[in-house]
C-alpha cells in the first residue's frame, strides 16, 4: 500500500458525521501531520447498538472529511468485515498494510478515560499512539491522570487542540436538533446525503 511514515486512524459510527467530527479530525491532522489519515466508519461498534443507517450510506456521508486534507481517505474495511468492529483488528490490518509506519489512533476524551476497558487495549497501546482530539471544560486533571497511567503502561498519548463541539450525532437522529438547523451542524456533503436519502426525521 505505499510507504506512508505516519498513518492516523479516525474511526467512529458517523451516523451522521457532523462539524464536531470535522473539528476533531482537523485538530488531529494539525497535531500529527500524517502522510495518510484514514477515516474508518465502524461496522457494528462493540459498545453501542448497531447503526440503523446502512454502512454504504454512512460511508458516503464520510466523504465530507476529504475536504480537510489530501492526506484523508475514507475506508470501508470495517464495514466489509461484517460483525462487530474491534479497533485492535483494524490496527493490526494497518500494521500489515503500512509496515514500519508510525500509527496514531484518534480517541475522544471519554474514550481515553475508559481505554483500559477496551478489548486488547495493551496490544493497541503497543501499536499506536493515542491522539485525544477534544476535551470538555474541567476534565483536564482526569485526562492527564489517565494519560500518565497509560504512559506508565508503555503507551504514548498526545493532546490535539480541539474544543468540544455542542452537538452529538444522536441529537440529529433523535430530532433534538431539528432539520432546519442541520445546515449549521452538518458539513455540506453530509447534508446532501441526508437530504437525498431522507434520513433521520426527514420525510420524502
* Residue-by-residue DSSP string for 111-169: HHHTGGGSTTHHHHHHHEEEEE--B-TT-HHHHHHHHHHHHHTT--EEE---BPPS--H
Average pLDDT of every residue of the chain = 91
3-state class (DSSP) for residue 6: strand
Using the predicted structure, report yes or no on whether residue 16 has a pLDDT greater than 60.
yes
Would you state the pLDDT for residue 99? Answer: 95
| pLDDT score of 51 | 66
| Alpha carbon separation from 113 to 138, 143, 146, 186 (Å, rounded) | 14, 7, 6, 27
The model's pTM is 0.92
Q: What confidence tens digit (pLDDT) does each residue in 81-104 have?
A: 877 889 999 999 999 999 999 999
Residues 6 or more apart whose CB falls under 8 angstroms from that of 203 comprise none
What is the band of 145 on the pLDDT scale with cuts at 50, 70, 90?
very high
Q: Which domains does the chain have, with CATH numbers?
A: 6-197 (3.40.50.620)
User: For 43-84, what is each residue's pLDDT tens digit?
Assistant: 876 655 656 799 999 999 999 999 999 999 999 999 998 778
Q: Do residues 9 and 104 lie in contact, with contact meaning Cβ atoms separated by under 8 Å?
A: yes
Amino acid at each position: 500500500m505505499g510507504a506512508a511514515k505516519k498513518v492516523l486512524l479516525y474511526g467512529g459510527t458517523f451516523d451522521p458525521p457532523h462539524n464536531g467530527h470535522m473539528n476533531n479530525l482537523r485538530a488531529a491532522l494539525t497535531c500529527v501531520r500524517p502522510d495518510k489519515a484514514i477515516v474508518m466508519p465502524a461496522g457494528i461498534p462493540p459498545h453501542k447498538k448497531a447503526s440503523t443507517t446502512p454502512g454504504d450510506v454512512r460511508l458516503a456521508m464520510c466523504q465530507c472529511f476529504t475536504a480537510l486534507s489530501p492526506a484523508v481517505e475514507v475506508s470501508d474495511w470495517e464495514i466489509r468485515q461484517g460483525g462487530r468492529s474491534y479497533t485492535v483488528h483494524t490496527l493490526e490490518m494497518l500494521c500489515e498494510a503500512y509496515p514500519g509506519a508510525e500509527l496514531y489512533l484518534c480517541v475522544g476524551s471519554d474514550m481515553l478515560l475508559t481505554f483500559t476497558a477496551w478489548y486488547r487495549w495493551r496490544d493497541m497501546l503497543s501499536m499506536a499512539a493515542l491522539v485525544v482530539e477534544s476535551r470538555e471544560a474541567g476534565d483536564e486533571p482526569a485526562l492527564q491522570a489517565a494519560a500518565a497511567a497509560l504512559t506508565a503502561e508503555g503507551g504514548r498519548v498526545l493532546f490535539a487542540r480541539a474544543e468540544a463541539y455542542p452537538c452529538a450525532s444522536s441529537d440529529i437522529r433523535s430530532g433534538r436538533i431539528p432539520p432546519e438547523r442541520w445546515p449549521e451542524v452538518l458539513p455540506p456533503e453530509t447534508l446532501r446525503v441526508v437530504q437525498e436519502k431522507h434520513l433521520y426525521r426527514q420525510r420524502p
